[in-house]
């Protein structure tokens, strides 16, 4: 296990270097952010001083090497637009909000998705099964931001039960609608996969043997079948959680949540390249860590899976 873990951590390094290089190349193609920040009427002398302050007076290879050197120390640079605020502090503040949103959404998706999948597998070709399949098909093709707008119209504008948007620390009511809109989309894929894996697991010999020994039906379903069916489901849950952390830009924009997605979109439109590059590195790191945790969870769910040293 330790050897496998060390090998996966070492595999992370070239991924992060590659992401940083790609982000740097595309940011160079976008042009210098200093000209857009200062405007056309700024004198050339002032522009050169500002470029020297932010390091844009150096050659591109030198700037990339300096960036990688700072990145190795956990320094993502400073924002050009937001008065030199450290990018690390800026993104971590947004990531805290996005993490709450993603955790709430994936909790809803797991509870509803796994429950619907189990019920559909217990009664295949029944009304519950057909209803779960229709829900999954609609949910997979339904945009999360559009569902969020519908929820705002119903629960905020019409019923006036929840706020339209915004965010206040410690106030759960601002996260209910965003979590539901994101969670229902992930629910569809989890429910469909759980249903298929459970149908296959329930047909196995070890489940029939458990039933023959007098084990209760729900014990055979939950303890024997579900445990073996969870391995592929956990993969989808892990990928969905990473996607929720990194891809909730539109949802955060609709609800006005100051998450990392909203900060990234604002940085793109304001040409704040250090924030964009830092966000790319942080989001890629999230994906790598999420995939690593999913891989490690396999050995706990299925004792037959072991990562040898």
Predicted pLDDT at 302: 63
Residue 48 lies in a domain: no
- Give the whole-number percent of the chain exceeding pLDDT 90: 8
Task: Reply yes or no on whether the pLDDT at 273 is more than 70.
Answer: yes
Task: Reply yes or no on whether the pLDDT at 105 is more than 80.
Answer: yes
Beta-bridge partners for 78:
86
Q: Chain-wide mean pLDDT for the chain?
A: 82
- Give the whole-number percent of the chain exceeding pLDDT 70: 91
Residue 94 lies in a domain: yes
Mean pLDDT over 227-232 rounds to 80
What does DSSP assign to residue 78? B
Predicted pLDDT at 127: 85
Task: Reply yes or no on whether the pLDDT at 176 is more than 50.
Answer: yes
Residue 143 lies in a domain: yes
**DSSP string for 279-291:** HHHHHHHHHHHHH
Q: What does the block give as tokens for 291?
A: 């995939």
The number of folded domains in the chain is 1
Mean pLDDT over 126-151 rounds to 80
Nearest to 103 by CA among 227, 242, 234: 242
CATH number at residue 187: 1.10.3720.10
Predicted pLDDT at 262: 81
pLDDT digits (tens, 9 = 90+) for 26-57: 877 777 677 666 766 677 787 788 778 777 77
Residue 75 lies in a domain: no
Q: Where residue 107 falls among pLDDT bands split at 50, 70, 90? A: very high
Mean pLDDT over 253-280 rounds to 85
Residue 3 lies in a domain: no
H helix runs in the chain, sequence order: 2-29, 33-38, 44-54, 60-72, 87-122, 127-140, 144-151, 173-202, 205-212, 217-219, 226-247, 249-255, 260-269, 273-301
Return the higher-pLDDT residue of 303 and 201. Answer: 201
Containing structural domain, residue 143: 89-262
Residue 9 lies in a domain: no
Mean pLDDT over 75-102 rounds to 86
CB of 112 closer than 8 Å to CB of 183? yes
Predicted pLDDT at 309: 47
Beta-bridge partners for 86:
78
Residue 254 lies in a domain: yes
Q: Which residues contact 142 (CB under 8 A, 6 or more apart)?
A: 184, 185, 188
Q: Whole-model pTM above 0.85?
A: no
Mean pLDDT over 59-64 rounds to 86
Helix (H, G, I), strand (E, B) or coil at 222: helix
Predicted pLDDT at 153: 92
Residue 137 lies in a domain: yes
Predicted pLDDT at 8: 73
Task: Reply yes or no on whether the pLDDT at 252 is more than 70.
Answer: yes
């Amino acid at each position: 296990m330790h050897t496998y873990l060390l090998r996966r951590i070492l595999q992370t390094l070239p991924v992060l270097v590659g992401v940083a290089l790609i982000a740097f190349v595309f940011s160079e193609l976008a042009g210098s952010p200093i000209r857009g920040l200062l405007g056309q009427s700024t004198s050339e002398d002032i522009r050169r001083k500002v470029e020297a302050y932010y390091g844009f007076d150096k050659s591109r290879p030198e700037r990339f090497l300096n960036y990688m050197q700072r990145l190795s120390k956990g320094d993502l640079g400073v924002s050009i637009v937001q008065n030199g605020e450290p990018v690390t502090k800026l993104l971590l503040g947004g990531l805290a909000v996005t993490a709450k949103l993603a955790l709430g959404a994936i909790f809803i998706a797991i509870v509803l998705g796994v429950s619907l999948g189990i019920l559909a597998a217990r009664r295949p070709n029944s009304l519950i099964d057909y209803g779960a399949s229709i829900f999954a098909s609609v949910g997979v093709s339904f945009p999360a931001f559009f569902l969020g707008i519908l929820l705002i119209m119903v629960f905020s504008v019409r019923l006036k039960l929840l706020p339209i948007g915004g965010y206040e620390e410690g106030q759960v009511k601002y996260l209910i609608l965003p979590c539901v809109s994101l969670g229902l989309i992930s629910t569809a894929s989890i429910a469909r996969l759980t249903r298929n894996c459970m149908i296959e697991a329930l047909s196995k010999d070890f489940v029939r043997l458990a039933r023959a020994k007098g084990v209760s039906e729900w014990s055979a379903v939950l303890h024997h079948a579900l445990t073996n069916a969870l391995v592929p489901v956990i993969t989808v849950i892990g990928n969905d959680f990473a996607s929720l952390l990194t891809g909730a830009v539109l949802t955060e924009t609709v609800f006005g949540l100051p998450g990392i997605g909203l900060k990234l979109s604002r940085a793109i439109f304001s040409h704040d390249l250090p924030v964009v590059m830092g966000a790319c590195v942080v989001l890629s790191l999230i994906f790598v860590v999420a995939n690593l945790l999913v891989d490690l969870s396999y050995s706990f769910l299925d004792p037959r899976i072991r990562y040898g040293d």
